[in-house]
């Protein structure tokens, strides 16, 4: 948490004023409700409209904490607040950690990984470094508290042990740096990554583990239907038959001049599966999430602050897409997550966090001080429901939970 305020204070004299003025100019910007998206089960209502920027008010004023100080208490000894008025609690992150991903084991422990090469564990009270390293890490996911996977420049790391407090980490070298890990069980895991060869030229791999010794490289089979000329930054989905991949597209692989790639895993009509590319005019893929098999959101696919929402009327066979220009503040979105069509979070650089309640977007109040805004870049969101959401990024880890949960 201290990193948040140190960095913010350094920028306060100029950047804060600039942001506040720009944000106020967009205070009345409209943010409509358009197609709906969330990481919810397949039972979600496919007719629900996904959030857009043409329906509800965003109130795009940069959050700088509570709306007003209680001057009457100025003589009292200051008490450092840990949580904002909306219940976003700041946790103390070890110094100089750019957290790139976050995942919880469902039993109280939460894990994160950093560009500095460390694996961090939250035990409900504090973050500790569970494994120190130097090679950048990008992704974390687990099938259980004692079966955890981490992706980074050196390949995969597999954490196993008798308990989550005593995991042993095994390195599994693969052909490319690993940037994403996702699965549905201990024997159904997808992971992917790439190296950049030249401008718009990639050496990409999408691996699938379906059994055998997971700590042996040969057990990770390259998916032959995923183009190796693309990069893979993210795999996500709702089930073993409904998931997506996204990343940069190699221009050498196609006549399509645009650089963003997203594809849906679908039936090939012959008893197998293939990847159906979703076509958008964009140079950037920045993230995605699935609300249900008929609803999804993709970040990027236009200016960096834009996003698209997809809705399917035929149970995921095809999608209709709507591009939204963003919120008028010119910051790139980096993560999106939801527990239902009425509970969607979108995190961006420069400390912007927004929430969609089913009707409108609003800026989340995450700062605990009255004058210093949060300006840290966000990178990832994970949660299990409205009362258990984590947002991490550059020297910051926020948790939204029940009152006094931290």
Per-domain residue ranges for the chain?
A: 2-67+83-342+366-400
Distance between CA atoms of residues 308 and 302, nearest Å: 9
Helix (H) or strand (E) holding 124: none
Please name the residues in contact with 302: beta carbons below 8 A apart, sequence gap of 6 or more.
280, 281, 282, 284, 308, 323, 325
Q: Average pLDDT in the 94-120 region?
A: 98
Domain 2-67+83-342+366-400 has CATH 2.130.10.10: yes
Q: Average pLDDT in the 87-111 region?
A: 97
Residue-wise pLDDT tens digits, 361-383: 999 999 998 667 899 999 999 99
Distance between CA atoms of residues 318 and 349, nearest Å: 32
pLDDT of residue 176 exceeding 80: yes
Tell which wins on pLDDT, 63 or 312. 312
Tell which wins on pLDDT, 386 or 16. 386
Q: Average pLDDT in the 79-105 region?
A: 93
Q: Virtual CA dihedral for 180, 208, 337, 110, nearest 10 degrees?
A: -70
Do 37 and 291 form a contact (C-beta atoms < 8 A)? yes
Q: Average pLDDT in the 294-305 region?
A: 84
Share of the chain above pLDDT 70, in %: 77
Residue-wise pLDDT tens digits, 16-73: 323 333 333 333 333 333 333 333 333 334 345 677 644 454 656 666 454 444 444 4
Please name the residues in contact with 132: beta carbons below 8 A apart, sequence gap of 6 or more.
117, 118
Q: What is the pLDDT of residue 327?
A: 86
Q: What is the pLDDT of residue 321?
A: 92
With cut-offs at 50, 70 and 90, classify the pLDDT of residue 360: very high
Q: What is the pLDDT of residue 241?
A: 87
Q: Average pLDDT in the 123-130 region?
A: 97
């Amino acid at each position: 948490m201290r990193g948040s305020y140190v960095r913010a204070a350094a920028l306060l004299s100029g950047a804060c004023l600039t942001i506040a003025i720009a944000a106020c100019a967009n205070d009345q910007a409209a943010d409509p409700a358009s197609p709906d998206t969330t990481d919810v089960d397949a039972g979600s209502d496919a007719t629900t409209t996904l959030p857009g920027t043409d329906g509800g008010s965003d109130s795009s004023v940069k959050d700088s904490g509570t709306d007003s100080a209680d001057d009457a208490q100025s003589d009292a000894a200051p008490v450092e607040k840990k949580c904002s008025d909306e219940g976003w609690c700041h946790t103390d992150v070890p110094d100089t950690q750019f957290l790139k991903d976050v995942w919880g084991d469902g039993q109280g422990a939460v894990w994160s990984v950093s560009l500095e090469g460390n694996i961090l564990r939250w035990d409900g009270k504090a973050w500790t470094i569970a494994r120190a390293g130097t090679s950048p890490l990008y992704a974390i996911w687990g099938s259980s508290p004692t079966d955890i996977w981490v992706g980074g420049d050196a390949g995969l790391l597999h954490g196993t042990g008798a308990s989550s407090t005593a995991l042993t980490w095994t390195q599994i070298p693969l052909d490319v740096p690993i940037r994403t890990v996702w699965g549905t069980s201990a024997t159904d895991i997808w992971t992917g990554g790439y190296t950049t060869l030249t401008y718009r030229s990639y050496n990409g791999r999408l691996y699938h583990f379906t059994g055998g010794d997971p700590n042996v490289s040969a057990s990770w089979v390259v998916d032959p239907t995923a183009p190796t000329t693309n990069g893979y930054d993210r795999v996500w989905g709702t089930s073993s038959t409904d998931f997506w991949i996204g990343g940069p597209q190699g221009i050498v692989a196609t006549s399509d001049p645009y650089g963003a790639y997203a594809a849906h895993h679908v039936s090939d009509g012959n008893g197998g599966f293939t990847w159906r590319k979703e076509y958008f005019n964009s140079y950037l893929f920045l993230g995605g999430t699935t609300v249900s098999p008929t609803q999804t959101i993709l970040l990027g696919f236009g200016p960096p602050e834009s996003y698209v929402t997809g809705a399917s009327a035929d149970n995921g066979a095809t999608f209709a897409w709507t591009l939204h220009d963003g919120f008028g503040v010119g910051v790139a979105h980096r993560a999106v997550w939801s527990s239902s069509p009425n509970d969607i979070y979108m995190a961006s650089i420069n400390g912007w966090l927004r929430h969609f309640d089913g009707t409108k977007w609003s800026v989340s109040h995450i700062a605990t001080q009255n004058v210093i805004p949060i300006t840290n870049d966000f990178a990832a969101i994970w949660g299990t429901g409205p009362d258990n959401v984590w947002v991490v990024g550059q020297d910051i880890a926020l948790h939204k939970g029940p009152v006094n949960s931290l």
